[in-house]
Chains A and B, each alone.
Chain A
Amino acid sequence: MATILFLAEQRDGELRKTAGELATVANNLAAKSGGQALGLVVGSNVGKCAEELGKFGITKVHIADDAKLKYYSTTAYAHSVNKLIEQVNPDVVLFSASATGRDLAPAVAGLANSSVFTDSTKVDIEGESIAIQRPVFAGKILMNIRSTTTSYISLRPNSYPIEENPASVAVEKFDPGFEDNSFIVQVTEFESSAATRPELTEADIIVSGGRGIGGPEKYDIIEQLADTLSAAVGASRAAVDAGWRPHSDQVGQTGKTVAPTLYIACGISGAIQHLAGMSSSKVIVAINKDPEAPIFKAATYGIVGDLFDVVPALEAELTKIL
């Protein structure tokens, strides 16, 4: 009879895609243990987000709804989540391993003198314990954990398929009970990237370019292929360090960890630190002129050839069939 609490992330009143993933996982864990899945939304004017969680079969959602919570604040959000935890006493608290979730989860766990199982890829309930799997050493090893106390877990985005199962939601507002130190850390400005493409960590498809691209202006063929596929654009560290792409595009051990359904690596050799960030992609395509490049070992499908021929041809072919 476990109580599974999950934090559904929203920005500007829109639920993030990961909210559906967490709702699905929470529902499945609750069903398995005969317990209850509880949603939590923190922000300003988030009643609509709470109701939308019904789409994923969630029947009860708590909200901390306050104008002061419009902008994310680590401390104010952590105090809000903690307040609800004290009230509903969950066995599992789920976060997304998004940028915000990775910031917030340890702050919440820290208030309870606990810690987080970060970026987990599996969560299950087995008898009285929670079984968690998370990659360590950048995915070279998997860690299987058994936890018997309240477990704070962040889930790697895109590791769970979303299941829809409409239900009607009871929304309950609670008072976050702010204290003097609740706002000691404040977001004072948010500069939207005004991105026309999906977020790298949330994208279903990523087209990535490496040193083989040869220069910042030549990324247009990568961007065109990405746009044809409604994909995000990624980069290797070599491309980022050369100044061709922003740091936020970097995939790998010192960049983002991604798990899309399709990852297309163009002009990337497949160094171990790059593979660390994308090897859990479901399907990997490599386009490289060197048949010996290690990326071909990691790839599901490979084409040996000059990317300046192959990438535009692939873009044209996909435009034809999509």
Chain B
Amino acid sequence: MNIIVLVKQVPDTEAKIRIADDGNQIDEASISFIVNPYDEYAIEAALQLKEAHGGEITLVSLGPGGAIAALRTGLAMGADKAVLLKAENSRFMNSQAVAGQIGKVLADRQFDLVLCGKKAVDTDAQQIGTLLAMNLEISVISSIVELNIAGNQITAKREVEGGTETVSCQLPAVLTCEKGLNEPRYPNLRGIMMAKKKPIEEIVVDVVDSVTDFKFENPPQKAEGRIVGEGVDAVPELARLLREEAKVI
């Protein structure tokens, strides 16, 4: 099975995000970057499928030159090769443009399955996988927490309000991965050494005209909370405040 895994490099979830002067970039100088957490579930799912069915895993990332570090992490986990679609200042590129660029590259390649994260924790856009599937006119199942592939048949589970759906479709397809699908492995030393020799292909991508008209803003500062008191003695006062001041019960 030939599997493509989409990987985005994102700021560490602990990072403090500062808006850059022009208002539609963030200051990326002082932050550290990680593989998007949901993409780790996608990589792990691909590795397990390869272990079961054989085949090859290709990572694809669109991002600045530095995003190569995220690809190396995925290669160290066990993926076979990678493609970097190099585009500076592309973090908030329009989602359709990102999906379009990735789709263009995939259209010329042989693959059975595309795995990606449920969402990137920078854009929080939650759509690249589905947009890509629509562009490629193949099936998509989003936010999967369980996966089974037998022959051409995919069966997956996803959680929705009120219950769990079992969803099925055929290969080729795009699947977006939710926490709970698996436990991503850590790269070991051997993996890290081997990753250095694995091929990363670079393709330069144009981002002109693919950015939506937007400005960032800091969220309003919330008033600092107040400690009502200590232990059970504070309980009646808390109940009163919830009822009379906040009026939420």
Give chain A's interface residues, CB within 8 Å of chain B.
11, 16, 72, 74-75, 78, 98-100, 102-103, 105-107, 109-111, 113-116, 118-119, 134-148, 181, 184-193, 195, 199, 201-202, 205, 229, 247-248, 250, 253-255, 261-262, 272-273, 276, 279, 282-286, 291, 296-306, 309-310, 313-314, 317-318, 321-322
B238 touches A184 (CB 8 A): no
Query: What are 20 A-B residue pairs whose CB atoms fall within 8 Å in the complex?
Result: A109-B131, A113-B96, A115-B94, A115-B131, A138-B124, A143-B214, A147-B212, A187-B165, A187-B167, A192-B162, A192-B163, A229-B249, A253-B121, A254-B38, A262-B246, A286-B225, A300-B226, A302-B226, A305-B230, A317-B235
Binds A, one of B45-53, B67-75, B82-90, B139-147: B139-147
Query: CB-CB contacts of B173-203 with A at 8 A, as 1s and 0s?
Result: 0000011100000000000000000000000
Please measure, in the bound complex, the distance between the C-alpha atom of A139 and the C-alpha atom of B121, giving whole angstroms: 10
Within 8 A of A (CB), among B232-249: 232, 234-236, 238-239, 241-243, 246, 248-249
Given contacts A144-B214, A313-B235, A318-B249, 15 further A-B contacts (CB under 8 A): A16-B161, A74-B141, A103-B158, A106-B126, A115-B125, A143-B214, A186-B167, A247-B179, A248-B159, A253-B37, A262-B246, A285-B242, A305-B231, A306-B231, A318-B239
Query: CB-CB contacts of B1-27 with A at 8 A, as 1s and 0s?
Result: 000000000010110110100000010
Write out the residue numbers on chain A whose beta carbons fall within 8 Å of the beta carbon of B180.
247-248
The count of chain B contact residues (Cβ–Cβ below 8 Å) is 79
Please measure, in the bound complex, the distance between the C-alpha atom of A192 and the C-alpha atom of B166, giving whole angstroms: 11
A310 touches B17 (CB 8 A): no
A276 to chain B, nearest CB (A): 8
Please measure, in the bound complex, the distance between the C-alpha atom of A97 and the C-alpha atom of B37, giving whole angstroms: 21
Please measure, in the bound complex, the distance between the C-alpha atom of A307 and the C-alpha atom of B131, giving whole angstroms: 46
A278 to chain B, nearest CB (A): 12
B220 to chain A, nearest CB (A): 9
A297 touches B134 (CB 8 A): no
Please measure, in the bound complex, the distance between the C-alpha atom of A282 and the C-alpha atom of B246, giving whole angstroms: 9
B210 to chain A, nearest CB (A): 11
Please measure, in the bound complex, the distance between the C-alpha atom of A314 and the C-alpha atom of B241, giving whole angstroms: 12
A118 touches B126 (CB 8 A): yes
Instruction: Judge if B160 is at the interface, Cβ distance under 8 Å.
Output: yes
Give chain B's interface residues, CB within 8 Å of chain A.
11, 13-14, 16-17, 19, 26, 37-38, 92, 94-96, 99, 121-127, 130-131, 133-135, 137, 139-143, 145, 155, 158-170, 178-180, 212-219, 222, 224-232, 234-236, 238-239, 241-243, 246, 248-249
A145 touches B217 (CB 8 A): no
Write out the residue numbers on chain A whose beta carbons fall within 8 Å of the beta carbon of B26.
137, 141
Please measure, in the bound complex, the distance between the C-alpha atom of A272 and the C-alpha atom of B17, giving whole angstroms: 12
Take A103-B130, A109-B131, A142-B218 as given contacts and tell me if A188 and B160 are in contact as well, using a CB distance cutoff of 8 Å: no
B212 touches A145 (CB 8 A): yes
Please measure, in the bound complex, the distance between the C-alpha atom of A135 and the C-alpha atom of B235, giving whole angstroms: 34
B124 touches A102 (CB 8 A): no
A141 touches B13 (CB 8 A): no
Write out the residue numbers on chain B whose beta carbons fall within 8 Å of the beta carbon of A247.
145, 159, 178-180
Take A142-B216, A254-B38, A313-B235 as given contacts and tell me if A106 and B130 are in contact as well, using a CB distance cutoff of 8 Å: yes
B13 to chain A, nearest CB (A): 5
A303 touches B124 (CB 8 A): no
Write out the residue numbers on chain A whose beta carbons fall within 8 Å of the beta carbon of B227.
291, 296, 302-304
Please measure, in the bound complex, the distance between the C-alpha atom of A158 and the C-alpha atom of B52, giving whole angstroms: 43
B238 touches A314 (CB 8 A): yes
For B125, the closest partner residue in chain A by CB is A118
A106 touches B161 (CB 8 A): no
B228 to chain A, nearest CB (A): 5
A304 to chain B, nearest CB (A): 5
Take A143-B216, A253-B121 as given contacts and tell me if A189 and B165 are in contact as well, using a CB distance cutoff of 8 Å: yes
B239 touches A135 (CB 8 A): no
B124 touches A135 (CB 8 A): yes
Task: With a 10 A CB-CB cut-off, give which of A137, A146, A261 has the most chain B CB atoms.
Answer: A137
Task: With a 10 A CB-CB cut-off, give which of B14, B218, B242 has the most chain A CB atoms.
Answer: B242
Please measure, in the bound complex, the distance between the C-alpha atom of A181 and the C-alpha atom of B163, giving whole angstroms: 26
Take A282-B248, A299-B225 as given contacts and tell me if A116 and B95 are in contact as well, using a CB distance cutoff of 8 Å: yes
Please measure, in the bound complex, the distance between the C-alpha atom of A184 and the C-alpha atom of B169, giving whole angstroms: 6
**Within the complex, which residue of B14, B127, B216, B229 is in contact with A116, where a contact is CB–CB below 8 Å?**
B127
Please measure, in the bound complex, the distance between the C-alpha atom of A98 and the C-alpha atom of B126, giving whole angstroms: 12
Write out the residue numbers on chain A whose beta carbons fall within 8 Å of the beta carbon of B135.
110
Please measure, in the bound complex, the distance between the C-alpha atom of A287 and the C-alpha atom of B192, giving whole angstroms: 43
Write out the residue numbers on chain A whose beta carbons fall within 8 Å of the beta carbon of B130.
74, 103, 106-107, 110
